[in-house]
Amino acid sequence: METYTLIGPFSQLVSMKNTPLKGAIKDDDLLSIQNAGIVIQNHRIKAIDDFSKLKQSFTTSDTKQIILDKNYVCVPGFIDAHTHICFAGSRAQDYAMRNSGKSYLEIAEAGGGIWDTVTKTREATKDELRKGIIKRASLHAKRGITTIEVKSGYGLSIEEELKMLYAIKEANTETVSDLVATCLAGHMLPKDFDGNHKAYLEYISDSLFPILKAEQLSNRIDAFIEKGAFTPQDIYPYFEKAKAIGFDITVHADQFSTGGSEVAVKMDAISADHLEASTEEEIKILANSNVIAIALPGASIGLGCDFTPARKILDNNGALAIASDWNPGSAPMGDLLTQACILGTFQKLSNAEVLAGITHRAASALHLDDRGILEVGMLADFNLFETADWNEILYQQGQLRPAQVWKNGQKIHQ
């Protein structure tokens, strides 16, 4: 029985070092090893070094050697820290109407918007939702994304939110990538709820939160702070209850108007996501906190809006992750690498900052300290791209796809 797997040589192995989470990063700050190899043991990285040195150290029959005969660059498995891939239906009509100049209100009046997806998701069975998640997560895995956060938030009642979260939990056992579930029951006030925003959030926190804990469905609570969704005043008591029972907090903040990032900082959230509308003031308070800013370029591209001020966040010493926001309404594309590259182009991010945003810093935004960098002891989650220069991965803006994807030390795609 082989104990070790040695794979290499890679023309280049590139990763963040286990360096500060915050601030600008230069390409020189990366770990970069030429002619590198990796030794895997029990799903984890046992050794990383020059390939010929590893070949000399791991010689016994305990080692399975995988010798590569092409140029490959090895980078960490990508992490998508914000998605809504549990949904039914399509919002192609919204997209067409929006692009022909119709307003948010006109689209909602024509039956579109988040409520349309809530209706379709409620009509779907748990099994249909589970299959939809598996299909989308499998496409993500082929594109090198080995950890995927997935939100509920299209159920908006105890029963329907539970249906979504069980679908995510079951899908997790059938996907090669790890799924991290987040409860987004605070997405909007459901149209059929008999009560105001405050009453709805009390109903969710009193009745749903204990079940999430007891059934281990999610450790994370999210809310959409925005005009037409929830105000900061609505959300403070909701998040306070969540924190008191030990949930991590994450926020849809400053997408169209400000207010959300301040809540994120005051509530010591792990991340504040969106931030397209953040001004200097919000950027400063975020950067002076431990909250990770998550840019969602897929939503900017889907809606035709400004990008998150990623450059300013980094230059103010903030921490920046990048996620896809894959959802049927504002971010239907779902292609994380392409979107991260485009954000890099428009926001003038170094390649190291883009890579950190979808690896090391994204792992921190999910409180996962066992992945996101290539280092001894970390999970053996990595991607091989057929090129000799890692800059090609970003230069080709997502069109260079991984030739091989490895998750927990197993090849899951080639």
Which residues sit at the interface with ligand NIG, rule CB under 6 A?
Answer: 84, 114, 117, 224, 252, 255, 299, 325, 327-331
- For residue 10, CA distances in Å to 6, 38, 50, 306, 370 come to 12, 9, 9, 38, 22
329 binds, among Fe ion, ligand NIG, none (CB under 5 to 8 A by kind): ligand NIG
255 binds, among Fe ion, ligand NIG, none (CB under 5 to 8 A by kind): ligand NIG
Cβ-Cβ contacts under 8 Å for 197 (sequence gap 6 or more):
189, 230, 231, 234
From residue 313 to residue 352, what is the string marking binding to Fe ion with x (rule CB under 5 A)?
------------x---------------------------
Q: What is the DSSP string of 121-169?
A: HHHS-HHHHHHHHHHHHHHHHHTTEEEEEEE--S--SHHHHHHHHHHHH
330 binds, among ligand NIG, Fe ion, none (CB under 5 to 8 A by kind): ligand NIG
Burial of residue 280, with CB atoms counted within 10 A of its CB: 0-12 exposed, 13-18 middle, 19 or more buried: exposed
Give CA–CA dist 237/151, Å, rounded: 21
Which among 28, 43, 44 has a CA at the least distance from the CA of 351? 28
271 binds, among Fe ion, ligand NIG, none (CB under 5 to 8 A by kind): none
Structure tokens at 9: 């040589």
Report the half-sphere exposure of 284 (CA within 13 A, side-chain side): 3
Shortest Å distance, C-beta 224 to ligand NIG: 5
Shortest Å distance, C-beta 252 to ligand NIG: 5
Q: Nearest residue to ligand NIG, using CB?
A: 329
Shortest Å distance, C-beta 338 to Fe ion: 18
Which among 224, 285, 284 has a CA at the least distance from the CA of 255? 224
80 binds, among Fe ion, ligand NIG, none (CB under 5 to 8 A by kind): none
Measured from the CB atom, is 154 or 406 closer to Fe ion?
Answer: 154
Burial of residue 57, with CB atoms counted within 10 A of its CB: 0-12 exposed, 13-18 middle, 19 or more buried: middle
311 binds, among ligand NIG, Fe ion, none (CB under 5 to 8 A by kind): none
Give CA–CA dist 332/324, Å, rounded: 9
Cβ neighbour number for residue 328 with a 10 Å cutoff: 24
The distance in angstroms from the start CA to the end CA of the chain is 24
Measured from the CB atom, is 277 or 283 closer to ligand NIG?
Answer: 277
Shortest Å distance, C-beta 348 to Fe ion: 25
Give CA–CA dist 169/180, Å, rounded: 9
Measured from the CB atom, is 85 or 358 closer to ligand NIG?
Answer: 85
Measured from the CB atom, is 114 or 162 closer to ligand NIG?
Answer: 114
Shortest Å distance, C-beta 34 to ligand NIG: 40
Is residue 80 near Fe ion by the rule CB under 5 A?
no
Measured from the CB atom, is 39 or 114 closer to ligand NIG?
Answer: 114
Angle at alpha carbon of residue 298, lines to 392 and 294, rounded to 5°: 90
Shortest Å distance, C-beta 296 to ligand NIG: 7
DSSP strand pairing (4-15 vs 73-76): parallel
Which among 139, 13, 44 has a CA at the least distance from the CA of 393? 13
Is residue 222 near Fe ion by the rule CB under 5 A?
no
114 binds, among Fe ion, ligand NIG, none (CB under 5 to 8 A by kind): ligand NIG
Structure tokens at 269: 């959230």
Measured from the CB atom, is 234 or 325 closer to Fe ion?
Answer: 325
Shortest Å distance, C-beta 114 to ligand NIG: 4
224 binds, among ligand NIG, Fe ion, none (CB under 5 to 8 A by kind): ligand NIG
Q: Nearest residue to Fe ion, using CB?
A: 325
Shortest Å distance, C-beta 80 to ligand NIG: 13
Shortest Å distance, C-beta 315 to Fe ion: 25
Measured from the CB atom, is 251 or 352 closer to Fe ion?
Answer: 251
Residues that bind Fe ion (CB under 5 A): 325
